Amino acid sequence: MSRSFREVFGATLLMAVGLGSVLLAGQAAQIHRALGAHLPWQTLLLGLAALGEVLLPVSCLLGVGLAYGRWRNEGALTALSALGVRPVRLLLPAILAGLTVSGVTFGFSTHLGPRALAALADRWDVAVGQAAHAPGGVALPAGRARGVVRADGSPGEIWAISEWGAGLAVLRAEALEFDPAGGARLRRVELFADTLRARLGEVRLDDARGPRRPGALRPPQTLPDASLPLDGTPEVAFTRGRRRALAALGVPAAILGALLGGSLGRTIALLSGAGVAGVLYWALRAGSLAARDGHLSPGWAAWLPFIVLAALAGLSTRLAWARFRA
């Protein structure tokens, strides 16, 4: 039994590495399109930690399906059933793997993931502040800002041109910062307009079209469970419930993967598991939108992915149990 558990859990880790690599590549491409620059490689590791709450249950579904599908193809399940091993006992390695994944996912969703998102938000803000040094610069309400790149490759001062009455004003700033909502601030500014020259500590550009911080990099997503207010908004209640619901996905995901692999074989199990992952993504999005629009209470909306996956596992048990036992 311990060998079976190691094989199931090893297949789950293998799927986590493969899926994580694909998702990180997609994240890196999106960040590059949004900022026009690459973030440090350490950022990718933070992204992997942030994805853990979703990546681990899906990997468990696919990994367990892969292991049980191989056993099915090799006739191991049929042989064990012929030797009198009860079908429920055949599911024990999957259940143990699911419980393990649920425990690890709980740690990611309530502590490690939010801290990783907070660190990603800090790096995002720094990268956005350097956006003016990209080839195209940054669009301002009535002009454009571009940064100087020093000989050693480090970012230098920011130069911007904006409308000033009937003429133009030139601004030289030491730094450009963006708010999470997209507004901008020029720090330590020298302003030149006609015969006027002024030194300003800060110039706000609330209408600047800067990159907006993604919703996943804003509170309450970036707050660990211990920092969430107990009497918070519906968004906080949804976030707290969603984290627990994602952690609870491990067991039904493992059971469903075992039933798919044990009854259909590994190839069809992997394809079916990919379809189930798509359904889970839909449930996550649907629950989030329903909670935001007030169509569902935060609690029901947060647990929608678990309800959907548990229903699929129950339906698969009803339809595939006889073939799993054969």
Tell me the per-residue pLDDT of 109-163, one tens digit each, with 9 for 90 and over: 999 999 999 988 887 777 766 667 766 677 766 667 788 878 787 778 888 887 7
Q: What is the largest CA-CA distance in the chain?
A: 96
What does the pLDDT read at residue 22?
83
CA dihedral angle for residue 242, residue 245, residue 250, residue 251, rounded to 10 degrees: -170
Q: In which residue are the tokens 């004003």 written? A: 169
- Nearest-angstrom CA–CA distance, 246 and 37: 32
Gap between the Cα atoms of 313 and 259, Å rounded: 8
The encoded tokens of residue 84 equal 């009198």
Look at residue 282 in the predicted model and tell me its pLDDT: 95
Q: What is the pLDDT of residue 108?
A: 94
pLDDT of 34 reads 56
Residue 182 pLDDT: 59
How confident is the model at residue 66, as a pLDDT? 93
Q: How far is CA 158 from CA 130, 135, 174, in A?
A: 10, 13, 6
Residues of the chain under the 70 pLDDT cut: 1-2, 27-42, 128-131, 134-136, 140-143, 180-183, 206-212, 325-326
Distance (Å, whole) CA 79 – CA 184: 67
List the end-to-end C-alpha distance of the chain, in Å, as a whole number. 20
